[in-house]
Structure 1
Amino acid sequence: MRDVIIVGAGAAGLMAAGHCAGRGLSTLVLDKNELPGRKLRITGKGRCNVTNNCPPEDVISAARGGRFLYSALSGFTPGDTMAFFEGLGVPLKTERGRRVFPQSDRAADIAGALARFAGGAELRRDTVTEVLVENGHITGVRTNKGYYKGRNVLLACGGASYPATGSDGSGYRLCERLGHTIAPIGPSLVPLVEVGELCQRLMGLSLRNVGVRVNAAGKKKPVYEDFGELLFTHFGLSGPTILSASAFMRPMEPGAYTVHIDLKPALDEGQLDARLLRDLEENRNRQLINSLDRLLPQKLIPVAVERSGVPGETRCNSMTREQRRSLLGVLKDFTVEIEGFRPIAEAIVTAGGVSLKEVDPRTMGSKLIEGLYFAGEMLDVDAPTGGYNLQIAFATGRLAGVSMGKQEGANG
């Protein structure tokens, strides 16, 4: 009979395992992969955005369902996460947007440190098919290879994104069979699919330092605003600003959202007009289509001119004020209508999960079944890019780890 069985050797599961084993609890970690922390090793394009160097209140305000995280983040702040990994011998650095990375830029260093921290737990490669309960109490789990008795079970199986790493949504099905409510699952921090084929013409073009605003149909107030980098793809839009925007685009349906791109956010319309006038004067005898190289990337010029409605063969010295205004309008508000999200398998995190109403935020324990706990992406909580989601995984995993087994100890 184990004190604790943890399903999932990811960020949350390994954090919990280390805290359980460190308290002297017999701890078994079951994972589908031979190597622990497999998804962690590919996060941040292999660099691993460990956390965000900010107060815990900022994580709470950034996250959907953030209030639920108050106890978890108070007990394990972003500062605690940084001190934790540096204490395990992984020096960190803070980059733009307060994003924290290992100085080595190697996600494997973070995964390795976390695996060492959980070294007191037993790790086995196995797939859990059922969580066993008798009279409202956890009794163990059934797997492909057999049956394990346990007093406490933590489900830290991840979401439904990156299924090749083991996060295939199976944890949600385990929860449903236990009677827990699962908020609808969907992609978050995911590329966007366009309506039409505009982006396909610009495929491969990366824009830096552009303004991005997302508006819902019929609404004046944006659902999201940012400044940074985006990428045109064969299906639509991707890149850091777009991935973050996707977290705020719910519910998603074709035509419900439009992305507005300010191609020249450092210049207001008057300043941009003066800049355009100078370029037109320098190229006064040339066609417009051949005169914007200093203002726009080559690939974007024909699309922007076409959108402005100004014939590309127009001579620069013959452009009217109205034509110039039309071109300026495109430069300051280049729009892309959105059809939907890319598949959840391409999402960085999963939106939806175990209903927060059924989980005790002080322990991460189930309100329905004694001895059952949840952490990380299993919960109906998610946040934008920037290290917030891993911070949530570490904090909820740690809280579950320090909570499991306390009742038995108190009674024994």
Structure 2
Amino acid sequence: MSEIIVIGGGAAGCMAALAAAEQGASVTLLERNPKLGRKLYITGKGRCNVTNHCTVQELLQNVPGNSKFLTSAATRFPPEEAEAFFEELGVPLKIERGNRVFPQSDKAADIIDALLRALRKAKVAIVQDRAVSLTVEEEDRLTGVTGEQGEYPCKAVVIATGGVSYPLTGSTGDGYEFARALGHTIVEPRPSLVPLVAEQPFCAQMQGLSLRNVAIQVKNSKKKTVYAEQGELLFTHFGLSGPLILSASAHMRSMDKEHYFILLDLKPALDQEKLDNRLLRDLGEQANKDFRHVLEGLVPRLMVPVLLELTGIPGDLKANSITKVQRRKLLETLKGLRIDISGPRPIGEAIVTAGGVKTSEVDPHTMASKKVQGVFFAGEVLDVDAYTGGFNLQIAWSTGRAAGRGAAEAVRLTKEAK
């Protein structure tokens, strides 16, 4: 019999199992997939954005909800310690734009392999099985886990089953059901870091077009800017995706009751005056060309029909016939193409799930349940989520470590009490 069962072999679960084993506890890690860390394989486009090279304060500033809950766990295992942890496991790291931290190899598999080696060295038993229920005695004390393959008696359990995003990786909301059965409140899961559905049909007309070095402003119904950034986006059959859009979605936290729209600046390197001078020059140099051909020198070809429609300027109009009013309309469209958002894509397409186990019902120092003795939570199953940039994985490492140590300490105290 293992003293501690960790349910879920993702980032938080692996860290929790290692942390508990380091404290001398016997640990079994239950993972429903044939391999550990399936979701880790797809983070950072397969490169694994391990953490963010930042202070604890900067980390918490990138957690839009319940950041205070994370203060203790993040302080005791901050980003710098996460970096040192993986370096010590033999994975050289590098820092990129936005202080994002990646393996030097650009391979997520190196992070997973290092965790697996560490788990084996720590003598953590890894069992492929899906947990289906927890056994709790009358005095609200956990005594075991039931899996599809058998029973696992234990003194403590760490629930690190993830959210409900990317269900093919095994994140199907099992942890929410375990928590609910224990009497915990589940904050309704919602997608975060997710592609967005656009109201305008012109996005579908540009399906597959990727734009680099563009800028966006996300505004709410009061026209207040809630997010502004520069980067890469992708037009899709439903609307918008790409790194810039995924980051923006995490700031659009009231899509059920708030209307958001995006202003897309196609030429952020040029202010309005410089862009107007560029338009004047292009129109003058190509005076006898059709306007549509002039546009092809300004934007990708897929955008030309869309801009003709939005500006109302005929494509066959000669460049020297463009009026000042028409040029002004083109300028405004290039610097502020409006795209109204009707909502997010389904939660299964989100990189991260917001919502989950209510944090006020969990001890922020140990990640212990306040409802049932011997139960701990870690990672995305909790109602904490962050913006992109390695912050969500850092939450997994910090809460996983806190939960593993908390579980080991609970087991030690139980032994001493006997």
Instruction: Give the TM-score normalised by the residue count of structure 1.
Output: 0.97
CA offset digits 1:18-63 (Å, max 9, x no partner) = 1111221111111101211111122112110101111111110111
Amino acid in the other structure paired with 1:103: Q
Give runs of aligned pairs for residues 266-277 of structure 1, distance below 5 A.
Answer: 266-277=269-280
Amino acid in the other structure paired with 1:53: H
Amino acid in the other structure paired with 1:19: A
Cα contact 2:156–2:411 (8 A) shared by 1: no
1:210 deviates by 0.7
CA offset digits 1:106-130 (Å, max 9, x no partner) = 1010011112222221111111111
Map of 1:326 onto structure 2: 329
1:220 deviates by 2.4
- Which stretch of the first structure deviates more once superposed, 304-313 or 89-98? 304-313
Amino acid in the other structure paired with 2:176: Y
1:191 deviates by 0.5
Map of 1:71 onto structure 2: 72
Instruction: Give the TM-score normalised by the residue count of structure 2.
Output: 0.96
Amino acid in the other structure paired with 1:144: E
Amino acid in the other structure paired with 2:62: A
Cα contact 2:50–2:390 (8 A) shared by 1: yes
Cα contact 1:254–1:340 (8 A) shared by 2: no
- 1:98 matched to 2:102? The reply is no
Match for 1:198 among 193, 196, 202? 202
How many angstroms apart in 2 are the aligned matches of 1:183 and 1:378? Answer: 10
Map of 1:233 onto structure 2: 236
Map of 1:38 onto structure 2: 38
How many angstroms apart in 2 are the aligned matches of 1:310 and 1:216? Answer: 30
Residue ranges of structure 1 left out of the alignment (5+ in a row): none
How many angstroms apart in 1 are the aligned matches of 2:248 and 2:333? Answer: 21
How many angstroms apart in 2 are the aligned matches of 1:98 and 1:293? Answer: 36
How many angstroms apart in 2 are the aligned matches of 1:83 and 1:283? Answer: 58
1:181 deviates by 0.4
| SS in structure 2 at match of 1:292 | helix
CA offset digits 1:311-360 (Å, max 9, x no partner) = 22222112111111100010000111112111111111111000011011
Map of 1:156 onto structure 2: 160
How many angstroms apart in 1 are the aligned matches of 2:250 and 2:154? Answer: 37
Amino acid in the other structure paired with 2:95: T
| Closer, same or farther: CA 169–126 of 1 in aligned 2, 3 Å | same
- Which stretch of the first structure deviates more once superposed, 200-209 or 189-198? 189-198
- Which stretch of the first structure deviates more once superposed, 58-67 or 235-244? 58-67
Map of 1:207 onto structure 2: 211
Map of 1:27 onto structure 2: 27
How many angstroms apart in 1 are the aligned matches of 2:208 and 2:154? Answer: 51
1:100 deviates by 0.8
Give runs of aligned pairs for residues 277-316 of structure 1, distance below 5 A.
Answer: 277-316=280-319
- 1:403 matched to 2:406? The reply is yes
Amino acid in the other structure paired with 1:78: P
How many angstroms apart in 1 are the aligned matches of 2:149 and 2:84? Answer: 38
Amino acid in the other structure paired with 2:98: G
Amino acid in the other structure paired with 1:72: A
How many angstroms apart in 1 are the aligned matches of 2:32 and 2:205? Answer: 41
CA offset digits 1:73-128 (Å, max 9, x no partner) = 11111111111111111111111111111111110100111122222211111111
| Closer, same or farther: CA 57–38 of 1 in aligned 2, 3 Å | same
How many angstroms apart in 1 are the aligned matches of 2:301 and 2:360? Answer: 53
How many angstroms apart in 2 are the aligned matches of 1:320 and 1:244? Answer: 38
Residue ranges of structure 2 left out of the alignment (5+ in a row): none
How many angstroms apart in 2 are the aligned matches of 1:393 and 1:384? Answer: 14
How many angstroms apart in 2 are the aligned matches of 1:249 and 1:384? Answer: 11
Map of 2:114 onto structure 1: 113
How many angstroms apart in 2 are the aligned matches of 1:259 and 1:62? Answer: 21
CA offset digits 1:154-194 (Å, max 9, x no partner) = 00001101111111111111111111000011111111111
Q: Aligned-pair RMSD on alpha carbons?
A: 1.3
Cα contact 1:191–1:246 (8 A) shared by 2: yes
**Percent sequence identity over matched residues?**
52
Amino acid in the other structure paired with 1:12: A
**Residues paired across the two proteins, number:** 411
1:254 deviates by 8.9
Map of 1:143 onto structure 2: 147
Cα contact 2:41–2:109 (8 A) shared by 1: yes
- 1:246 matched to 2:249? The reply is yes
**Poorly superposed stretches of 4+, deviation over 3 Å:** none
How many angstroms apart in 1 are the aligned matches of 2:49 and 2:299? Answer: 32
- Which stretch of the first structure deviates more once superposed, 402-411 or 333-342? 402-411
Amino acid in the other structure paired with 1:338: I
Cα contact 1:195–1:255 (8 A) shared by 2: no
Cα contact 2:5–2:154 (8 A) shared by 1: yes
How many angstroms apart in 2 are the aligned matches of 1:229 and 1:196? Answer: 20
Cα contact 1:15–1:118 (8 A) shared by 2: no
| SS in structure 2 at match of 1:130 | strand
Amino acid in the other structure paired with 1:313: D
